[in-house]
Structure 1
Amino acid sequence: MNPTESRWLHTALFIIVLLTAGGLRFTALDSAPPGLTHDEADHGLDAAGVLAGVRPIYFTVGYGREPLYDYSTAAAMLVVGENFYAGRITAGLYGMSLLVLTYLLVRHWSGDKWLALAAVGAMAISFWTVSTSRQALRSITLPVTYTLAALLMLAGWRLSADTDPPTYERAGWGWFVLAGLALGAMAYTYLAARIMWGVFPALFIALAVTRRGSVGKLWPGLALMLGVGAVTAAPLAVYLLNNPAAEARVGQLSGPLDAFLAGDPAPLLVNIRAGFGMVTFSGDDLWLYNIPGRPLLPPVLSLFFAFGLLAALVRIFTPYAKANTLPEEHLRRGGLALFAVGTTAAGLIPALITGVGASNVRVIGMQPGLYILIGMGVSALARWAGQHSGFAAQRAVSTIFALILSVTAITEAQAYFGTWANARDVRVAYHTTLVETLAYLDAHPQIGPDVALSTITPGQFHDPAVAAMVLRRDDLTLRWFDGRSALVLPAAPQADLIYPEIAEPPALLDPPHVQAERLFVLRPDDFNRRVRLATITPEPPAEAALARFGEALSLLRADYMLEGDTLTVLTTWRVDAELNAELVLFTHAMAGEGPPVAQEDSLGYPTSSWVVGDTFVQMHRLTLPSDAGPITLMVGAYTRPDLTRLPVAAGGQPAGDAFPIGTLP
């Protein structure tokens, strides 16, 4: 094949790879994943907040999150609107950027366009990379900024063949400055960036050891790159140092390390054993991000990865005198091999620490390295075939790999869009019942405008966040409550209460004054498949307030019943004002001056959903000790996290911070 034909074939194949990747990343964004997780919805809320002028350096919702993805999603919202599509499209664009950057990096570093094409061909169709490019999560920004930093750093290197062996020289300080900016930007992507940055100095050290003198003139450039990166990352670092509580996720994930430091290595060793096998043997065991147990690579790509890893290690440790390539090529390919191995190793560390659960996201930093090694495996095998059997054999290897990728693309797509996206546990994790309920509201404009939705997660950053990203109607006044422990009666002539199967009320909290009911059913194998909609005509409460709690809440009625040692308390409340704080209601069983002998503290109608004038019923259940003696029942309310009780007023007079509703003999 002449150079012109080779160039045209390569260009055509590269376009096919990009088109295939684009199709896998942007097709059916509303059905795969089949709904929306709370984390994805919270990203959307924060992005919408950016457009509204809320622009923090670190987002504290969801145990703490770096900001780059949310700011990127905000930009997408300017085009597609404030909905979940913006987050999915942003992830897809980052995924496509990773393909292009990886291609440019490999081609520039190795000088081998076919090696670059093989690497991104595998990356384009893999279940793992497709899934991480479709989830509206910040993790996808890490490998993109990491690969960009590597590409910019490499642009600052110029290979000099005038020395023996060859060496690198600086091509300009500006490239190292830009690389440092990209390196610093990594800090604003994802937690694993705190590991991945170390690959760059490690690469220089490894090159200095295995290719003596090759990077001697580049050390000042590395120092500049690291310095600029540190300055760029400093604002976030300072914030986190001053606000350590913002990083709740770090404490949640550090358990095995803490146990190891305390003298118990067992949890860490278990995670290490599982982590090393996740690439080719057994991977992430959560449906949330994977088909449980499915390794990162399918078997056939695992073989190319293993061969590429072996070829990379041989290349790294083969001296110039024994290499079967020119010294310049040996240096270039050895550097790429070091980068790929280092990237893969560093990216795997989070799984070695925390285990394979949810690791498909945590090890995302290794994506460029892993697929470069696959490309190196294909390249090494093709070279070996060419050296032993001629050009036709070399071409045959490339053709076979292309056919393998074509078949693998089909099987990987079936695994993702067919098996994973339709699995029952995936539909549960992505709140498909809620999403389809919201679609039902969109399709039935006669429902509303006053609607109350029962859910097991009614908090501001849970199901309401999903609705904010999915629901198209803007004429609804939504309330969110947990129907298992509360009943909301909107201050409206008519209202619609919606109960999914997992949040149906007990008989004591069944809605009154029901005028009509309808039922819609999801898939037969869904966990939460039935949704009941009750249209009610709430009656205004006739009772005068027994007591007021602050300015926000009035107690209208209190009822209780004792069955055996179980006391059920029903308190009826009216919302008098909005409250910009998380509130908890309590019922305490007091026997004398000491602490409560029994209590329940909970609120099934969160303040974030309150509508002034609404009435709601809260149910508390207490288990009473048999020898408690006379008991006084006290109710009250306090705010979180400061645990400050609301002041109580009864009959217009201050009445402390709790109110008695009855006694038990």
Structure 2
Amino acid sequence: MLGERTLALLILIVAAYFRLWRLDELPPGFHHDIGVNGLDVMDVLAGARPVFFERNFGREAFFIYLQAALVGAVGFRPMVFNFAGVAMSMLSVALTYRLFRDWFSASVALTGASLYGFSFWAVDIGRLGLRGSSVPAFMLLTILLLARLLRRRSGIGVAIATGIVLGASLYTYLAARLLPVLIAAAVVLAPTRARAAWRSLVVAAIAAAVVFLPLGQYFFEHRAELTRRAFDVSIANPNPDIEGTRNTATESLLNTLGMFTVRGDENVRHNVPARPVFTGPWALLFYGGLIVAAWSAPRAWRYRIALTWLALLLVPSALSHESPSMFRTFGAAPIAHLFPVLAIDAIARSWRRGSHVVWGVAAIGILIFAAETHRLYFDEWPRRSDIDLAFDGNLPRLARFVESRGEPILYLSVDRRPPVQVLSPRARDGRWYREESFAVPMARDASGDSLYVSGPGAALPDAAPMMLPGLRDLAPSIGPDGKPDFRAYVWTEADRRAFARDFVAIDAPMGNDFRLVGHRTRRLDAARLDVALLWQPLAPSGPYDLFVHARRGDGSGLGQADRLVWPIDGGPPRDDVLVTRQILEATGTDVAVLEIGVVKRDPLDRARLIGGPIGDVARIMIPP
């Protein structure tokens, strides 16, 4: 018969297998949010030491510093970023066993740790290189230390450690801000013990305040950052910045409550879409465990804190859109997996003569549970058609392509930039602009050929071939879904210079945003006029509507064309111009003048124009 320590070690080994096997390929790609972490890691390795990182709606610092340490030792690879999540996930499995063992029997601790450690929820989030994966470890360790304080089993050292871990937890993720609330509730729920340990609790509170002080000072000086991301996804926000479903308050609450046994997270990055946390017998045992905990709560503090923990850590999902969110509620994952085990424990205690049979059946159930997780994560989930795109699987391939090319001039029309910038040093020196922009940048005086790369859904594949004569389309990379990963084109220096010579110079400033510096007009036939323009960006902010109106000599309109344009907004400065080309239909041969100008578009509603033309409208006379 294997001993408790041996079984605990086996659980950790199996949990490590679940988190490390095929980590270089699952999750696939290099997700945008992890790429943003990568940019911050680059700053840290260059000497920056912020307590809060402001990119991507603002992120707490702990996990990024952990990733920086790993990248500094191993290098910039997607797997290295994800390994930070693995490390925190493994720590949480070990602490789950330790806390449950502190509260209950060895059977409960071993079964609870294995159920949590082998769950799809914990395996999936634990393999992501995102800061939310660090919350359970801090929750578990803080509660474990607090429980020992309240039992007066330790001295000042544990009180200080409790405060340090509590304060440090606030540097992990938004949901960890609920941990001080949970600690306060835990103290209130154990009044007799709290009075006896009040000195240690005061020391812990002081230590937590000292650790939190730098972050607290930052939030005092940057108050908007404290709630910015929480409000962005909150059900109180009528215009949330989300990719999933908008919910009413009632829907968010009901969806969150139903995630355990009815319908789970629909985000494929966090779950097999819509699969609940518990299915089959485990769902029934989960409800049975809730009943056991509620029945036992008046007599035992550990049940009160378990129920409070579960309820409190569901709040981030219950108050946000895209619910249920298994990522935002990940702090509740360890304690959620305790409840089915409490039901098993109640059955075993009520049938004392057959308790070994009960725990034996539970062990078999854990093996089946683990096998199901293995099938789902390593077989079914990776074969989904949407999984590669969900994790930006095309971006590492795009980055490798850019690194393999030698053209000295590089333009990238890619919105999800950070993964490419992290993985491709050359891409950091490229010039970047928005995918939806229908203007194509062109180097004015630089030497060498130009490489244009875009996301598969960008405007570049439609715009560039019609605007840049001689442009060569490179064979695109094809993703697992059978569609192009990205598009790429080469424009030779000779073709670029020949193209530039066709333009008539003009100097028409339009406010502080653009200057029209060149135009070329050609009649294609009796009904159509081809208009190409060169725009020099001055201090643009975008988005813009660059328009051309064709008029007769008497001022009456003949036709118009508009382009949605964003300026170049990333990369080293260079003397670039933007090329636009419009075909004005049904203008006939009596067009006498072109009116050319710039109007701002609403960033939130591109179809809406803001105000009138910026600066003066340029007028170009068209000969008969």
Give runs of aligned pairs for residues 208-223 of structure 1, distance below 5 A.
Answer: 208=191, 213-223=192-202
| 1:255 counterpart = 2:235 | yes
Amino acid at match of 1:517: L
Classify the secondary structure of the residue corresponding to 1:488: strand
The residue that corresponds to 1:126 in the other structure is 119
The residue that corresponds to 1:634 in the other structure is 597
Assess, with a 3 A threshold, how the Cα gap between structure 1 residues 474 and 485 changes in structure 2: closer, same or farther: closer
| 1:315 counterpart = 2:296 | yes
Select which of 382, 390, 394 maps to 1:429. 390
Give runs of aligned pairs for residues 155-304 of structure 1, distance below 5 A.
Answer: 155-157=148-150, 168-169=151-152, 171-208=154-191, 213-246=192-225, 247-256=227-236, 267-304=248-285
The residue that corresponds to 1:509 in the other structure is 464
Assess, with a 3 A threshold, how the Cα gap between structure 1 residues 530 and 470 changes in structure 2: closer, same or farther: closer
| 1:454 counterpart = 2:433 | no
How much does 1:179 deviate?
A: 0.6
Structure 1 stretch displaced more, 502-511 or 411-420:
502-511
Give runs of aligned pairs for residues 360-509 of structure 1, distance below 5 A.
Answer: 360-385=326-351, 387=352, 390=353, 393-441=354-402, 445=404, 448=407, 450-455=409-414, 457=415, 462-463=416-417, 465-471=418-424, 477-481=429-433, 482=435, 485-489=438-442, 491-503=446-458, 505=460, 507-509=462-464
| TM-score, normalised by the number of residues in structure 1 | 0.76
How much does 1:42 deviate?
A: 0.5
| 1:97 counterpart = 2:80 | no
Amino acid at match of 1:375: V
| 1:116 counterpart = 2:96 | no
Assess, with a 3 A threshold, how the Cα gap between structure 1 residues 189 and 428 changes in structure 2: closer, same or farther: same
Classify the secondary structure of the residue corresponding to 2:476: strand
The residue that corresponds to 1:646 in the other structure is none
C-alpha distance in structure 1 between counterparts of 2:436 and 2:45, whole Å:
34
C-alpha distance in structure 2 between counterparts of 1:254 and 1:516, whole Å:
44
8 Å CA contact 1:88–1:135 kept in 2: the answer is yes
Classify the secondary structure of the residue corresponding to 1:617: strand
C-alpha distance in structure 1 between counterparts of 2:541 and 2:442, whole Å:
20
For 1:538-558, what per-residue CA distance to the aligned partner results, in whole angstroms no more than 9, with x for missing partners? 323335573679999864324
How much does 1:513 deviate?
A: 2.0
Assess, with a 3 A threshold, how the Cα gap between structure 1 residues 85 and 569 changes in structure 2: closer, same or farther: farther
Structure 1 stretch displaced more, 483-492 or 189-198:
483-492
Assess, with a 3 A threshold, how the Cα gap between structure 1 residues 38 and 312 changes in structure 2: closer, same or farther: same
Size of the aligned set, in residue pairs, is 576
Amino acid at match of 1:51: L
8 Å CA contact 1:454–1:480 kept in 2: the answer is yes
Assess, with a 3 A threshold, how the Cα gap between structure 1 residues 659 and 155 changes in structure 2: closer, same or farther: same
- Unaligned 5+ residue runs, structure 2? 240-246, 552-559, 586-592, 604-612
Assess, with a 3 A threshold, how the Cα gap between structure 1 residues 426 and 571 changes in structure 2: closer, same or farther: farther
| 1:606 counterpart = 2:606 | no
- Unaligned 5+ residue runs, structure 1? 158-167, 260-265, 319-333, 592-597, 624-629, 641-655
The residue that corresponds to 1:165 in the other structure is none
The residue that corresponds to 1:627 in the other structure is none
How much does 1:135 deviate?
A: 1.3
Amino acid at match of 2:285: F
| TM-score, normalised by the number of residues in structure 2 | 0.81
How much does 1:220 deviate?
A: 3.5
How much does 1:351 deviate?
A: 1.7
8 Å CA contact 1:170–1:221 kept in 2: the answer is no
How much does 1:377 deviate?
A: 2.9
The residue that corresponds to 1:328 in the other structure is none
How much does 1:395 deviate?
A: 1.9
8 Å CA contact 2:163–2:207 kept in 1: the answer is yes
How much does 1:422 deviate?
A: 3.3
Amino acid at match of 1:536: W
Root mean square deviation of aligned Cα: 3.9
How much does 1:476 deviate?
A: 8.4
Classify the secondary structure of the residue corresponding to 1:275: helix
| 1:23 counterpart = 2:6 | no
Classify the secondary structure of the residue corresponding to 1:197: helix
Structure 1 stretch displaced more, 142-151 or 126-135:
142-151
Assess, with a 3 A threshold, how the Cα gap between structure 1 residues 21 and 404 changes in structure 2: closer, same or farther: same
Amino acid at match of 1:410: A
Amino acid at match of 1:149: T
Assess, with a 3 A threshold, how the Cα gap between structure 1 residues 561 and 434 changes in structure 2: closer, same or farther: farther
Assess, with a 3 A threshold, how the Cα gap between structure 1 residues 156 and 530 changes in structure 2: closer, same or farther: closer
Select which of 117, 137, 142 maps to 1:144. 137
How much does 1:589 deviate?
A: 8.1
How much does 1:154 deviate?
A: 2.7
How much does 1:288 deviate?
A: 3.3
8 Å CA contact 2:476–2:484 kept in 1: the answer is no
The residue that corresponds to 1:519 in the other structure is 476
Classify the secondary structure of the residue corresponding to 2:29: coil
Classify the secondary structure of the residue corresponding to 2:189: helix
Assess, with a 3 A threshold, how the Cα gap between structure 1 residues 275 and 149 changes in structure 2: closer, same or farther: same
Assess, with a 3 A threshold, how the Cα gap between structure 1 residues 267 and 599 changes in structure 2: closer, same or farther: farther
The residue that corresponds to 2:242 in the other structure is none
How much does 1:571 deviate?
A: 3.8
Assess, with a 3 A threshold, how the Cα gap between structure 1 residues 547 and 305 changes in structure 2: closer, same or farther: same
Classify the secondary structure of the residue corresponding to 2:360: helix
Assess, with a 3 A threshold, how the Cα gap between structure 1 residues 147 and 621 changes in structure 2: closer, same or farther: farther
The residue that corresponds to 1:617 in the other structure is 579
C-alpha distance in structure 2 between counterparts of 1:343 and 1:216, whole Å:
22
8 Å CA contact 1:145–1:182 kept in 2: the answer is yes
How much does 1:560 deviate?
A: 8.2
For 1:218-237, what per-residue CA distance to the aligned partner results, in whole angstroms no more than 9, with x for missing partners? 23433432343234323323
8 Å CA contact 1:488–1:614 kept in 2: the answer is yes
How much does 1:345 deviate?
A: 0.9
For 1:221-263, what per-residue CA distance to the aligned partner results, in whole angstroms no more than 9, with x for missing partners? 334323432343233233223323334212223334899xxxx
Give runs of aligned pairs for residues 59-74 of structure 1, distance below 5 A.
Answer: 59-74=53-68
C-alpha distance in structure 1 between counterparts of 2:327 and 2:487, whole Å:
36
How much does 1:501 deviate?
A: 3.4
How much does 1:90 deviate?
A: 0.6
Amino acid at match of 1:176: A
C-alpha distance in structure 2 between counterparts of 1:502 and 1:289, whole Å:
25
C-alpha distance in structure 2 between counterparts of 1:62 and 1:313, whole Å:
40
C-alpha distance in structure 1 between counterparts of 2:530 and 2:270, whole Å:
41
Give runs of aligned pairs for residues 302-341 of structure 1, distance below 5 A.
Answer: 302-318=283-299, 334-341=300-307
Assess, with a 3 A threshold, how the Cα gap between structure 1 residues 144 and 571 changes in structure 2: closer, same or farther: farther
